[in-house]
Amino acid sequence: MTSDHASMTSDHPVDIDRQVRIYITVFVALMILTIVTVAVSYLHLPMAMAVTVALVVAAVKGSLVACYFMHLIAEKKLIYAVLVLTVVFFVVLLALPVLTHSNGYWIDE
């Protein structure tokens, strides 16, 4: 293998040893947050609070996976542009039921 292999590999001419240490740290964080998610469910919090806690913890876990395992923490602008567009459409998609709900359309049916 050529010595410039790593630097040629498109987007990641980075210190892999440092990356690996980060992966292990993220793994530990994900394990702790999984335990937190399950432990909180045994507290039987009120539904609104339970949903909030579960989604916040899931969002933190998801962000860790996306940022570090999927390398989004240091990605090219075009990927960010694609993802911003995706997030906009995703939010609209999730907002549709809420908007319908506020009209009371399917509640009154």
Partner 1 sequence: MDIPYTVEVRRDTGLTNGKIGIWLFLASEVMLFGALFASYILIRAGSPSWPRGDTILNVPLATFNTIVLILSSVTMVMAWASLMRHRFGTFRIYMGATILLGFVFLVVKYFEYGHKIHLGLYPSSGNFFAVYYTLTGLHMHHVIGGMAVNAWLWGPGAKLWKTNPVWFTNRVEHSGLFWHFVDLVWIFLFPTLYLL
Residue 18 interacts with partner 1 (CB under 8 A): yes or no: no
User: Rounded to an integer, what distance in angstroms lies between the CA atom of residue 64 and that of residue 102?
Assistant: 34
- Determine, following the binding rule CB under 8 A, whether residue 50 of this chain makes contact with partner 1: yes
The reply to whether 52 sits near partner 1 by the rule CB under 8 A is no
Give the shortest CB-67-to-partner 1 separation in angstroms: 11
CA 62 to chain centre: 2
Q: According to the binding rule CB under 8 A, does residue 67 interact with partner 1? A: no
Q: Which of 46, 78, 102, 103 binds partner 1 (CB under 8 A)?
A: 78
Does 1 help bind partner 1 (rule: CB under 8 A)? yes
The two structure tokens encoding residue 81: 């542009």
When binding is defined by CB under 8 A, the residue of 58, 73, 74, 88 that contacts partner 1 is 58
Residues 6+ apart with CB under 8 A from 43: none
Sign of CA dihedral 75, 77, 79, 81: positive
